[in-house]
Amino acid sequence: MSERELTMSEALNEALHEEMERDPGVFVVGEDIAALGGLFQVTTGLLDRFGSQRVIDAPISEAGQAGVGVGAALVGCRPVVELQIADFVSLVMDQVVNHAGKWRYMSGGRVTVPFVLRGAVSSGIGMAAQHSQTLEAWFVHAPGLVVVMPSTPYDAKGLLKSAIRDDNPVVFLEKRLLYSRPGAVPEEEYTVPIGVADVKREGSDVTVATYAAGVHLALQAARGLAREGVEVEVVDLRTLKPLDIDTLAASVRKTGRLVVVTEAARAGSFASEVVARVCDECFDVLQAPPVRVTATDTPMPYAASLERAVLPQVEDVTEGIRHVLAKVPA
Amino acid sequence: MTAAATTDAQTLEQMLLRMWQIRAFEIRAMALFEENLIRGSVHPYVGMEAIAVGACAALGPDDYITSTHRGHGHCIAKGLDLKLMMAEIIGREDGYCRGRGGSMHITAMDKGMLGADAIVAGSSAMAVGAAHGLRLQGRDGIVLCFFGDGAANQGVLHEACNLAAVLDAPVIFVCENNQWAISTPAAASTRVENIADRAAGYGFPGVTVDGNDVLAVRTVIGNAAARARAGDGPTLVEAKSYRITPHSAATKTDLRPPEELDAWRSRDPILRFSRLLAEEHGFEPARLEHVEQQATRDVEEAVEFALASPRPEPEAALEDVYAPADWALPGRLA
């Protein structure tokens, strides 16, 4: 395997190039994605290579773009719709939830909807309340969707390729602060399977289940705690739906303790679902009540001091881990 | 099929049969609702038969349609099987959607029916995407999107029309203006006289047509289809009509003025077409009567088939949420 490093933007871009080359039914649609190559360079070079019928600079009509994707999927294409900012999902919910997610079921299994909706989760950089939400829980709650949130360039590329090849609608959320972060990506072609978690760090004392930017918070907290002799296992869920409960439960059975980290607001968050699923699966092995480390239940404020107060920081993850370790079973 | 559509007697008789089948199907469905054999509701298409039949007569087997909550007429006009439709509406295993969809969600890809959509205007952007997708794959088909006057004021329809324009998508938007959105008259919902006038705002043609004149509808849609096939982009067709029956079988209160209803009853599209066939195409009364009776028999056979079909097994409720995939293993999706 080569030692090549790519940023997540470059890795995603490579995935799109490869899948569009592989399958002429794959096309991309979104705002500023063709001539400009996307605000975050994920679609760079696609227009020159594949032309304007497959790389579409759309008017600012997010619901329309998503609907176009669903319709094209029904007749056999594999559209990839880019939401410039993931918060705009509020504008496309009807097309995604009522159409993409339900069309197969409502038809009695007669149709497939191979549709990918990508969006940039843009918290942490002062974009304020309408450009900084982490909304994966909305999609996990809607039947019929697959939900993916990668944390590394390697996973991002491999999972996007799997998402495009999957016959189901996939909501693929990318953390904007991770776009420029480099990581090893082999030259050779590969995919990362949907529905398979990845243990990013092995440890024996506590399991931290997380995804996307939370993985990096957890790894940083784990490095700090290792100096105190605490061994943290970091389980990168990668796919939220379907959830790889087997990998997660195996980790919790080993450590007996669970912390779940998400940058989403707390109430009804996916962290709550993870805690519930682990309790369903292996409540008897838990040596302490699971802890959720999340954003606060507030809109995202603009000022840096305020945004830091709302979003979970490494110290919050460290504190959550200490909390779950402090509980001694009765 | 071109705008200079055929007027051979067999084709015309087939169109009349489809119109009668829609009428008979809807009246039977409303009765089945009263007998509690249909759940939820049904939204009858009575009085609007000329739109679906005229429009679909201008389409070919490779063309697709999208439909609405009031979609039975579109399905029958596109050639769907009455038996499988009725079985679906009654909620049986042999229905088009194995009892998952019901009245408002009939889908039949093999007949070019992309699916009925119970979100008002919901399928408009899908229609544009399907049209773009067909073109991208080098396929011949075009897509016709049915929607109502109520849908004309939904945001996504605006987005879909504009996207269709900039993509030059081979799509036809057909507004079935039946004058009322349940209890709200179209005149209270818009300040333009014709919904079709809005096409100017998208830069493509808008045409109004008498929606109770099946041959006029066929001609207008034929022209729009020729335009779409030639790569010249979308057309908005507004077919003005009226629903003779209530909004739905479950909606017992009807605020529409009785005299308005009576006036439209006198313009019944089926009787009007029958008169035309008698006067200009030499159809004998017996032949016309035979067509009507045939439609009634077809619907009765459909009801018999549907009632004999098994109810879906409860376990089937968990099937087909997802398409087959490597990860779709039992227990993974709880």
Q: What does pLDDT average to over chain A?
A: 97
**What are the tens digits of pLDDT across the range B170-188?**
999 999 999 999 999 999 9
**What are the tens digits of pLDDT across the range A188-201?**
999 999 999 999 99
* pLDDT reported for residue A88: 93
Q: Given pLDDT bands bounded at 50, 70 and 90, which one contains residue B326?
A: confident
> Strand B171-177 relative to strand B235-240: parallel, antiparallel, unpaired?
parallel
* pLDDT reported for residue B334: 44
**What are the tens digits of pLDDT across the range B302-320?**
999 999 999 999 999 999 9
User: What are the start and end residues of each CATH 3.40.50.920 domain in chain A?
Assistant: 198-326
User: Would you list the DSSP string of B218-260?
Assistant: HHHHHHHHHHHHTT---EEEEEE---SS-S-TT-----S-HHH
A131 tagged catalytic? yes
* pLDDT reported for residue B6: 72
* pLDDT reported for residue A2: 56
Could you give phi then psi for residue A28, rounded to 5 degrees? -120, 145
Tokens of B62: 């490779």
* pLDDT reported for residue A42: 97
Residue A99 is given by DSSP the state I
Q: Given pLDDT bands bounded at 50, 70 and 90, which one contains residue B330?
A: low
How many angstroms away from the CA of A100 is the closest CA of chain B?
Answer: 10
pLDDT at B7 over 90: no
Query: If you measure CA to CA, which chain B residue comes closest to A240?
Result: B333
Judged by CB atoms closer than 8 Å, whether chains meet at A103 and B167 is answered as no
Residue B109 is given by DSSP the state G
Judged by CB atoms closer than 8 Å, whether chains meet at A106 and B119 is answered as no
- Give the end-to-end CA distance of chain B in Å, rounded to a whole number: 50
Burial class (CB in 10 A: 0-12, 13-18, 19+), A250: middle
CA–CA separation, B57 and B3 (whole Å): 11
**What are the tens digits of pLDDT across the range B48-85?**
999 999 999 999 999 999 999 999 999 999 999 999 99
* pLDDT reported for residue A37: 96
Mean pLDDT of the region A102-113: 97
pLDDT at A104 over 70: yes
How many angstroms away from the CA of B231 is the closest CA of chain A?
Answer: 13
pLDDT at B213 over 80: yes
- Out of B130, B156, B162, name the one closest to residue A59 (CB): B162
* pLDDT reported for residue B327: 84
Burial class (CB in 10 A: 0-12, 13-18, 19+), A316: middle
Judged by CB atoms closer than 8 Å, whether chains meet at A71 and B132 is answered as yes
Asked if A232 and A218 count as a contact pair (C-beta separation under 8 A), the reply is yes
In a mutational test of the B interface, the residue from A106, A166, A167, A248 whose CB has the highest number of chain B CBs within 10 Å is: A106
Q: Given pLDDT bands bounded at 50, 70 and 90, which one contains residue B329?
A: low
Mean pLDDT of the region A293-314: 97
Question: Rounded to 10 degrees, what is the CA torsion of B129, B135, B141, B145?
Answer: 20
- Which residues in chain B are closer than 8 Å to A99, comparing Cβ atoms? 117, 119, 122-123, 126
- Could you tell me how many CB contacts below 8 A there are between chain A and chain B? 187
* pLDDT reported for residue A327: 73
pLDDT at B4 over 90: no
- Which residues in chain B are closer than 8 Å to A75, comparing Cβ atoms? 64, 114, 130, 133-134, 137, 139
Which residue in A23, A15, A39 sits closest to A73, CA to CA? A23
Judged by CB atoms closer than 8 Å, whether chains meet at B134 and A105 is answered as no
Q: Which fold has domain A198-326?
A: Rossmann fold (3.40.50)
Q: Which fold has domain A5-184?
A: Rossmann fold (3.40.50)
- Out of B123, B322, B326, name the one closest to residue A144 (CB): B322
* pLDDT reported for residue B1: 42
Percent of chain A residues past pLDDT 90, beyond the cut: 98
**What are the tens digits of pLDDT across the range B81-100?**
999 999 999 999 999 999 99
Tokens of B244: 């003779």
Judged by CB atoms closer than 8 Å, whether chains meet at A74 and B115 is answered as yes
Output the CA–CA distances (angstroms, integers) from residue A25 to A66, A162, A165, A232, B329, in the order listed.
16, 15, 11, 44, 27
**What are the tens digits of pLDDT across the range A23-47?**
999 999 999 999 999 999 999 999 9
- Which residues in chain A are closer than 8 Å to B135, comparing Cβ atoms? 53
pLDDT at B328 over 80: no
Which residue in A53, A58, A162 sits closest to A116, CA to CA? A162
- The full set of domains in chain B, from first to last, is 10-243+255-313 (3.40.50.970)
Asked if A287 and A256 count as a contact pair (C-beta separation under 8 A), the reply is yes
CA–CA separation, B171 and B55 (whole Å): 13
pLDDT at A14 over 60: yes
ipTM above 0.85, yes or no: yes
Mean pLDDT of the region A219-248: 97
Judged by CB atoms closer than 8 Å, whether chains meet at B163 and A64 is answered as yes
Q: Long-range CB contacts (< 8 A, 24+ apart) of A31-35?
A: A31/A57, A31/A58, A31/A60, A31/A65, A31/A82, A31/A84, A32/A57, A32/A84, A33/A57, A33/A82
* pLDDT reported for residue A3: 81
Q: Given pLDDT bands bounded at 50, 70 and 90, which one contains residue B332?
A: low
Mean pLDDT of the region A242-265: 98
User: What are the start and end residues of each CATH 3.40.50.970 domain in chain A?
Assistant: 5-184
Mean pLDDT of the region B258-283: 97
Query: If you measure CA to CA, which chain B residue comes closest to A75?
Result: B130
Percent of chain A residues past pLDDT 70, beyond the cut: 98
Judged by CB atoms closer than 8 Å, whether chains meet at A111 and B109 is answered as yes
CA–CA separation, A323 and A86 (whole Å): 32
Identify the active-site residue in A14, A19, A62, A307: A62
* pLDDT reported for residue A329: 64
A residues 21-60 lying closer than 8 A (beta carbon) to B: 24-25, 27, 53-54, 56, 58-59
pLDDT at B210 over 70: yes
In a mutational test of the A interface, the residue from B80, B84, B321, B333 whose CB has the highest number of chain A CBs within 10 Å is: B321
Tokens of B286: 């017996």
Mean pLDDT of the region A60-89: 97
How many angstroms away from the CA of B5 is the closest CA of chain A?
Answer: 27
Judged by CB atoms closer than 8 Å, whether chains meet at A70 and B125 is answered as yes
Mean pLDDT of the region A148-175: 98
pLDDT at A315 over 80: yes
Judged by CB atoms closer than 8 Å, whether chains meet at B100 and A75 is answered as no
CA–CA separation, A69 and A74 (whole Å): 9
How far is residue B238 CA from its own chain's centroid?
14
Q: Given pLDDT bands bounded at 50, 70 and 90, which one contains residue B3?
A: very low
pLDDT at A179 over 90: yes
**Residue with token string 């829609």:** B22
Omega of the bond prior to A301 within 30 degrees of 0, cis? Answer: no
* pLDDT reported for residue A330: 58
* pLDDT reported for residue A1: 52
**Residue with token string 């050639």:** B79
